[in-house]
Amino acid sequence: MNGVLGAIELLQTTPLNIEQQGLADTARNCTLSLLAIINNLLDFSRIESGHFTLHMEETALLPLLDQAMQTIQGPAQSKKLSLRTFVGQHVPLYFHTDSIRLRQILVNLLGNAVKFTETGGIRLTVKRHEEQLIFLVSDSGKGIEIQQQSQIFTAFYQADTNSQGTGIGLTIASSLAKMMGGNLTLKSVPGVGTCVSLVLPLQEYQPPQPIKGTLSAPFCLHRQLDCWGIRGEPPCQQNALLNAELLYFPGKLYDLAQQLILCTPNMPVINNLLPPWQLQILLVDDADINRDIIGKMLVSLGQHVTIAASSNEALTLSQQQRFDLVLIDIRMPEIDGIECVQLWHDEPNNLDPDCMFVALSASVATEDIHRCKKNGIHHYITKPVTLATLARYISIAAEYQLLRNIELQEQDPSRCSALLATDDMVINSKIFQSLDLLLADIENAVSAGKKIDQLIHTLKGCLGQIGQTELVCYVIDIENRVKMGKIIALEELTDLRQKIRTIFKNYTIT
């Protein structure tokens, strides 16, 4: 089936007329549906035979919720259904579970909610009750008759005989919930809607740390922000949080809110985030801006930082110095980050082939995350990177090194305070120069008819890292059109350059 799907996708890249494109789209959608049915049947068979095993690992909750909601975003929007997600107070943002199977359960519940809802909306709620995590998927669909509700988790049972599928999706979800120590329950009122609850035990987890701050935001986001320790104020006209997707992508909302607060002048956040250890950290990124900004953030957290602009530089440094943590961009020219990690492990003269690796990427694609884990990368950070995120992974790397009996240097808070007092004029000037050069590369590539997807991706990550949310949205629009094969006019790039010049008007190229 994967071969059939690949062949269809290759066919879609060839010149097709409108009718042929429609037929190819239909073939692809049918293949995806059939593949989902086959996977469900295989899972059901493994569960029934007792050959199904769970893989428990530390899981970031909010990105997982984003990924689950992303699967229903398109179908829900085509039906004009509203989407909402809410994460309650005291819900841990990191906990141990089988992330793939939890996502599978949520995707199944959300998919059913969209399938049987024609008007209204879908809501995903996560709350904590003592040592339990509760996921609620509710809809305003037609509901399920009382006499059918007791059979809804029975294999091959379908409450609606007109629906497509095998009728084992909920059976698998219920079985997975039991294997994870929890359970699925259903409440439904015909003509009103349905709510399915997934209850899981909280075993190993990290208590949530309130962000603490004030943000101008739409009133509909205030309740969610309040649960994270952020006080919401009435929104201004130009507001970075005026994005409908933030209502149902809590990971994006949390990251953006955190970034906006940490970028606010005079916020006393550094001392609260300061890790207890100073690590030797290698930062590998081909973008000057990311090296400058993330490098400064690491230094402000009291870390010793070495910079590499390419995988080749990183591999050379691996033979000269031992590192406690390697932060590496996975999308770089020539040798990408994942290949670099593979070569690092295989290098016989490497001083520490088993140090911790954390991937950096502006992409949130699930396949990128799986590819990283499969190839020896321990963790994955989505750009833009925040101080709190860096502090968290520094602590994780420190714990990893201590377990390996590697001595670490204790933190010196006075050193950090001195570094924070440094004038930002030089780094802001370097940022402006780097952006200007990057835009020049993009303009030259457009003029020469060359591909610009990698350059645009780099630009998006750089702008995100310096908190320019409005410009990131502008670049994302360009990136999406590039992916669809559309031509980008030079005038658009000139307009973008002017916007950047306006922001950095006090800095000139030297």
Over residues 281-319, the pLDDT tens digits come to 999 998 887 888 788 888 878 889 999 999 999 999 999
pLDDT reading at 163 higher than 60: no
List the domain boundaries for the chain.
2-49, 57-62+74-205, 214-262, 270-420, 425-503
CATH top class, domain 57-62+74-205: alpha beta
Q: Between 169-179 and 18-49, two packed helices, what is the crossing angle to 10 degrees?
A: 40
Confidence of residue 44 (pLDDT cuts 50, 70, 90): low
Amino acid occupying residue 241: L
DSSP string, 129-143: ETTEEEEEEEE-S--
pLDDT reading at 37 higher than 60: no
User: Which of 209, 343, 225, 241 shows the shortest CA–CA distance to 284?
Assistant: 343
* Weakest-pLDDT range from 78-92, 386-400, 477-491: 477-491
What CA–CA distance (Å, rounded) separates 29 from 87? Answer: 32
* Weakest-pLDDT range from 139-148, 179-188, 396-405, 407-416: 407-416
Residue 355 phi, psi dihedral angles, 5° rounding: -70, 170
Which has more pLDDT, 293 or 105?
A: 105
pLDDT tens by residue, 451-504: 888 788 778 777 766 666 667 777 877 877 777 777 788 888 888 888 877 766
Residue 310 phi, psi dihedral angles, 5° rounding: -155, 165
User: Which of 133, 152, 130 shows the shortest CA–CA distance to 93?
Assistant: 133
Confidence of residue 26 (pLDDT cuts 50, 70, 90): confident
pLDDT reading at 345 higher than 80: yes
Beta-carbon count within 10 A of 22 CB: 11
User: Which of 163, 190, 76, 75 shows the shortest CA–CA distance to 123?
Assistant: 76
pLDDT reading at 419 higher than 60: no
DSSP string, 221-269: HHHHHHHTTEEEEPPPSS-TT--GGGGT-HHHHHHHHHHHHHTSTT---
Q: Given the structure tokens 């993009």, which residue do they identify? A: 442
The overall average pLDDT reported for the chain is 79
What CA–CA distance (Å, rounded) separates 271 from 362? Answer: 27
What CA–CA distance (Å, rounded) separates 502 from 395? Answer: 38
Q: Which residues are CB-contacts of 62 (< 8 A; sequence separation ≥ 6)?
A: 87, 93, 250, 251, 254
What six digits make up the tokens of 160? 């609606």
The yes/no answer on whether domain 270-420 falls in CATH 3.90.1150.10 is: no
Structure confidence at residue 398 (pLDDT): 92
| Burial class of residue 313 (count of CB atoms within 10 Å of its CB; 0-12, 13-18, 19+) | middle
pTM, two decimals, is 0.54
